[in-house]
Structure 1
Amino acid sequence: MADFGTYSLLLLIWVASTLFLRVIFTKHGINNRSRNLPRSPIALPIIGHLYLLRKLPHQSFHKISTSYGPLVYLLFGSKACVLVSSPEMARQCLKTHETCFLNRPKRTNLDYITYGSSDFVLAPYGPYWRFMKKLCMTELLGGRILQQHLPIRAQEIRLFLTGMMKKAEMREEVNVGSELAMVANNIITRMALRRRCCDVGGEGHQLIELVKEMTELGGKFNLGDMLWFVKMFDLQGFGKRLESVRSRYDAIMERIMKEHQDARRNRKTIIGDEAVKDLLDVLLDIYADQSSEIRLTRENIKAFIMNMIGAGTETSAVTIEWALSELINHPEMMSKAREEIDSIVGKNRLVEESDIENLPYLQSVVKETMRLHPTGPLIVRQSTEDCSVNGYHIPSKTTVFVNVWSIGRDPSYWKEPLEFMPERFMNEEGESELDLKGQNFELLSFGAGRRSCPGAALALNVVHTTLAAMIQCFEWKGNNGIVDMEEGPGMALPRAHPLLCIPVVRLCPFEKTRFSFD
C-alpha cells in the first residue's frame, strides 16, 4: 500500500507538471512578448517562483528587484503576481491606475477568520467598503472621536510609565516590546470595548490572545492559495485550527455585544467630565438603525473589531520598539530628541499629544523609523481588469506586491539609505518635511489612495506620545550597549530578538496616580 501511495503521488505530480508546463509555454512563454509582461526570473514547474522566497518575503522581493528591476512578473504556483519596488511604479499602481488596484486578493486563512471578508480591510471595493471608510473617517477613527478618547490614551501612557518606574527602582530587566504591546492593546480595547486587556483572566485579555492567534494563522502561507490541486486536501491542517479559534472569538464577542445591547439605555462611559461612547456602541447603533445606508451584520461588527485590535496594536508597539532601538544605538540622536523635549515641554510636566506638533526632530525620528522599519513592509492589491503600467501589460486578477521596505532603501531617493538619519527629514528652518499620508510615494508607511490605512492618525498619536514620554522620563540601554537590528518573521515586521533593557529614571514629571476604569 505504501508503494501504491508513493506511485500515486508521483503520478499526480507528473500530471500537474505537464499541465503547468503547458500553461507556461502557451500562456506565459510563447505569448510573453506579444503581451509585453514585465521581466521575470526562470520559473520552475508547479511552484513557479516560490523557490525564490525565504522566511522574510520583503527581503526576498528586494533581492529579486535588484536583479530584475522595479517591475517584475512572478508566478507563485498558478497565481500571477507583479512585484513593485520603486516610488515611480508605486505611484502608477496606487494613484495613476488606482481604480484598477482597489481590491485585495483573497487568502483562504484570512478570508475565514474575517467571516468571509466581512471586515473592512479585506472587503472588496464597493458600496459596503465605501460606507465603512466614511464611517471610519467620521464616527470611528476621525478627529472628533480621537479627541474624545484622548484621556484614555493619556491614562494608559501614565500607567505604563508608572510601571516602568517600579521596575527601574528594582533594577528589573524589561521586555520593551511586550510592555509596549500592553499599552497599545489597553488603549484599543478601552476605546473599542471599554475593557483593559491587561486584566488577566478577563474578557479583554482573552480577546487579545485570540486575536493574536487569529492574526498568526491569517498570516500563515497556505499552499492551497498557490497550488490549486492541493486546496481541497488541507495538507497543512489549518481547517480545524481556524474553526476553533474563530468559534472561541465569536463566543466572547457575542457576550460582549449582548452586554452592550442590554445596557443601551445607559451605554455612556464617563472619562473625566465627558460622556463618550465606545466604538462597539457606535457600530451597534448603526446595526440597529433601520434607515442606515448599509445594514451592518453582527459578522461585520465582529470582523471590524478583530481588524482594529489586530492591526492597531502590534504595529504601533513595533514601531516604538524599533525607534527606541535605533536611538539606543545612536546616543547622540537620543540626546538631541531629549533636549528638544526638555526645551519645549520642560521638566515639570509630562509630554502630551498637543506638544508633538512642536517637536519636529521627534517627528523626524518616527519618519526615519518608518522608512527603515515599515510595519507594513508589503502593500498587497489585486488588479480588477487588464491595465498597462509603465508600458507593461498587467493582466486582470494579478496580485500586486508593493515593497514598501525596498522603496525605503532606494538609493535613487535616499542618500545613504541604510543609515538611520532623522536629519534627512529636517529642512533649513528646522521643520520636519514629508508627511506620512500617502502623498509621497517614497514613504508609504500607511499606504496611499482610497485604501490607505484609516487608523493612521490614531497610530501616530500613540507612537509619538509614547516614544516622547519614554525619552523624557528614562535612560535606556541595551544588554550589551548595542542593540541588534535583525528582523523577524511576521506581518508587522517585528524584531527577531526582544529588546531587553533596564530603565533608569531620569525624571518623574507626574504624580503616580490611581485611575478608575469603571
Structure 2
Amino acid sequence: MMPPLILLVLYLTLPLFLFFLVRNLMNPNKSKTLPPGPKGLPIIGNLYKLDNSVLHLQLWNLSKKFGPIFTLWLGFRPAIIISSPQLAEEAMKIQDPKFCGRPKFVAQQRISYNGIEMAFSPYDNCWKEIKKICVSNVLSPRRIAGYYSIRKEEVKKMMKKIQQHATSSEVVNLKDPLLNLMMNLVCKIVLGRTYEDEGPERERFLSLFDECNAWLGTYFLSDYFPFLSWIDRMMGLHSRLDKNFKELDEFYQEIIDEHSDPNRKVLEGEEDVTHILLQMQKDHSTSMDLTNDHVKAIIMDILVGATDTTAATTVWIMTNLIKNARVLKKVQEEIRSLGGKKDFLEEDEIQKFTYFKAVIKESLRLHLPAPIIPRATHESCNIGGYQIPPNTLVYVNTWAIHRDPQSWKDPEEFYPERFLDNDINLRGQDFKLFPFGSGRRMCPGLPLATAALDLILANLLNSFDWELPEGIKREDIDYERLPGIAHHKKNPLYLIAKTHI
C-alpha cells in the first residue's frame, strides 16, 4: 500500500525514540478491543507487506489464518478486515449506519473538493443531499432510459471499428475500444460532448484524467502517520497533487462556463448532467446551497467512476469467456437464437437472455473490478464480539467473500449455471454476491453501469466470433491485475474478431 521508497525515507528520518513515543500514544486498552491479526514491525505495522495490486489476495490468505475478521496496523491506523458474508451483512446492512463512513486519504480528499460528493464524502448531511440529488435527478431510471440513444450510438461506433479490424483480421487489444467507447459515452452524458477527435483537446482530457485516476489510488505517508506530512511535502507530492487539482478545476470551470452561456440551446430530454445540476443550482431547488464546487465534484465522480469500471468489467467477462469455450458457445447460442439475425440488439431484447445474465453475474463474482470495499466506522460499534472505535478503517474483502466455499460449490470454477436456479441479483441484497457494494454506500451508478454493460457485451457476442491470436493458448491467459480504483487486467486481452454470418 506504500511505495518502498517512502518506507525507506520513513526509517531513515525517524529517530529511535519515536518508537517509544508511538507506544505511549497507542492506547493498549483500545488495542485489546480489536480483533487479533498478524504482527507488524514497530511504527509501520503491517504496511511493509501490503501490495495494492494483490491486496485482495493477501487479505484472503491472512483470513485463512486469522479468521473472517482481523486487524492490520497501517502505521498508526488500525484497519479491520472482513472476509465472510455474515460479517459483511452485519457491517453493511444490520449496522450500516455505524459502518458507512469513508476513509479520509489526502489525495482523494483533494481531488474530490474535500469530499463534497458521493464516493469520498464522510457520512453527513452533505453526502445525504448530494446522493439524493444524483439518484433522483441524474441517475434516475427515467434519466438512464433517456440516455439510451447515446449508448446505442456509441456502441454502434465501436462495433464499426471492430468490424474494420475483423475485415483485415487484425488483432484487437479489447481494452482500447472499450475505454474509448466508455469515455465518449460518459462524456456525452455528463458534459454534453466527447473528446474522440485526435488533437490537443483530447490529449489534454486524457492526460488530466489519467493523472486524476493515478492520484485517487495514491497514498501519502501522512495518511498513516499524520505528523509526517512534511516528508510528503519534501518529496513534492503535495505540489504535484495541487497542480493536477488546479488543472482539473480549470477544466471543470470551462465546462460550467460553456453550459452557462445564455445562447446555449438544449432540447428537452437531451439535458446532460452538468446542465441538470446547474439548472438545479439556478432554481434553488435543493435543500442545500449547491455551489460550483459541488457540481465539479459530482462531475469528477461520474467521469471517473463510470468510465473505467465498465470497461474493466467487460474485459474481465470476455477473458472468462475466452478461457471457457463451453460457456462462450452456450451464451452465443442463446443470444443468436433469441435475438434473431439482427445487426444490432436493442436493450429490451437483451433482458430475456437468462444465461447471458448469469454469465455477467458469475464473472462479477470471480473478477469484479473493485475487489475491496473501503469503509470507516461512523461511531463506536461491536462486531464479531469485538468493540471497534469510531474512525477505524474497515475493508470488506468482496473478492474473498465471493469465493466463500460455504456459499458456493466449487467457488473457483467459472460456472454461470449456478445463477439459473436462484434469484440472486446485483443489487447488494444477498451477501454472497455484492460487486457494487450494499447499503447506504452502495454504488449509485449501478443502473447506468449495467445498462451500458448489457448493450456492449450482448452486441460483441452477437456480431462477432472471437479467437485468440496465433500462438496464444487459453491457458496462457492470466488474471493479473493493475492497481487502481478500478482494477484493469494487467496483461492485455488480445483477440481476433471474425464477423458472424
> TM-score if structure 2 supplies the norm length?
0.93
1:48 pairs, out of 42, 45, 48, with: 45
3-state SS of 1:133 partner: helix
Structure 1 residues 102-501: aligned runs within 5 Å:
102-201=100-199, 203=201, 206-234=204-232, 236-263=235-262, 266-269=264-267, 275-290=269-284, 292-427=286-421, 433-479=423-469, 480-482=472-474, 483-501=477-495
Cα gap change, 1:136 to 1:31, in 2 (>3 Å): closer
Cα gap change, 1:294 to 1:145, in 2 (>3 Å): same
Between stretches 230-239 and 165-174, larger displacement belongs to 230-239
Cα gap change, 1:125 to 1:389, in 2 (>3 Å): same
The residue type equivalent to 2:447 in the other structure is A
Q: Tell me, in whole angstroms, the C-alpha distance in 1 between the residues paired with 2:235 and 2:407.
A: 42
3-state SS of 1:118 partner: coil
Q: Tell me, in whole angstroms, the C-alpha distance in 2 between the residues paired with 1:202 and 1:289.
A: 35
2:19 pairs, out of 17, 20, 25, with: 17
The residue type equivalent to 2:389 in the other structure is P
3-state SS of 1:124 partner: coil
Q: Tell me, in whole angstroms, the C-alpha distance in 1 between the residues paired with 2:70 and 2:198.
A: 48
Residue by residue over 1:105-124, the C-alpha shift from the partner in whole angstroms, topping out at 9 and shown as x without a partner, is 11001111112112221122
Gaps of 5+ in 2: 1-7
Cα gap change, 1:332 to 1:9, in 2 (>3 Å): closer
Gaps of 5+ in 1: 1-5, 508-518
How far the C-alpha of 1:325 sits from its partner, in A, is: 0.9
Between stretches 172-181 and 477-486, larger displacement belongs to 477-486
CA contact (8 A) 2:117 2:130 kept: no
Q: Tell me, in whole angstroms, the C-alpha distance in 2 between the residues paired with 1:406 and 1:299.
A: 37
How far the C-alpha of 1:491 sits from its partner, in A, is: 2.1
How far the C-alpha of 1:201 sits from its partner, in A, is: 2.6
How far the C-alpha of 1:214 sits from its partner, in A, is: 0.8
Cα gap change, 1:377 to 1:262, in 2 (>3 Å): same
3-state SS of 2:351 partner: helix
The residue type equivalent to 2:299 in the other structure is I
CA contact (8 A) 2:370 2:485 kept: yes
Cα gap change, 1:10 to 1:490, in 2 (>3 Å): closer
Cα gap change, 1:315 to 1:124, in 2 (>3 Å): same
Q: Tell me, in whole angstroms, the C-alpha distance in 2 between the residues paired with 1:21 and 1:44.
A: 12
Cα gap change, 1:16 to 1:467, in 2 (>3 Å): same
How far the C-alpha of 1:11 sits from its partner, in A, is: 7.8
Residue by residue over 1:71-123, the C-alpha shift from the partner in whole angstroms, topping out at 9 and shown as x without a partner, is 00121000011000111111111111111112101100111111211222112
3-state SS of 1:262 partner: coil
Cα gap change, 1:319 to 1:182, in 2 (>3 Å): same
Q: Tell me, in whole angstroms, the C-alpha distance in 2 between the residues paired with 1:110 and 1:11.
A: 26
CA contact (8 A) 1:208 1:309 kept: no
Q: Tell me, in whole angstroms, the C-alpha distance in 2 between the residues paired with 1:471 and 1:405.
A: 26
Between stretches 479-488 and 442-451, larger displacement belongs to 479-488
Residue by residue over 1:405-448, the C-alpha shift from the partner in whole angstroms, topping out at 9 and shown as x without a partner, is 11111111111111111111111xxxx63110010111111110
How far the C-alpha of 1:229 sits from its partner, in A, is: 3.4
How far the C-alpha of 1:208 sits from its partner, in A, is: 4.0
Q: Tell me, in whole angstroms, the C-alpha distance in 2 between the residues paired with 1:472 and 1:31.
A: 57
Q: Tell me, in whole angstroms, the C-alpha distance in 1 between the residues paired with 2:179 and 2:229.
A: 35
Cα gap change, 1:10 to 1:345, in 2 (>3 Å): closer
Residue by residue over 1:324-354, the C-alpha shift from the partner in whole angstroms, topping out at 9 and shown as x without a partner, is 1111111111111111111211013411211
The residue type equivalent to 1:426 in the other structure is L
3-state SS of 2:467 partner: coil
The residue type equivalent to 2:128 in the other structure is R
What is the identity percentage for the equivalent residue pairs of Structure 1 and Structure 2?
Answer: 32
Between stretches 160-169 and 50-59, larger displacement belongs to 50-59
How far the C-alpha of 1:228 sits from its partner, in A, is: 2.6
Cα gap change, 1:67 to 1:268, in 2 (>3 Å): same
How far the C-alpha of 1:266 sits from its partner, in A, is: 4.3
CA RMSD of aligned residues (A): 2.0
Q: Tell me, in whole angstroms, the C-alpha distance in 2 between the residues paired with 1:455 and 1:155.
A: 20
> TM-score if structure 1 supplies the norm length?
0.90
How far the C-alpha of 1:402 sits from its partner, in A, is: 0.3
Q: Tell me, in whole angstroms, the C-alpha distance in 2 between the residues paired with 1:202 and 1:282.
A: 28
CA contact (8 A) 2:106 2:219 kept: no
How far the C-alpha of 1:203 sits from its partner, in A, is: 4.1
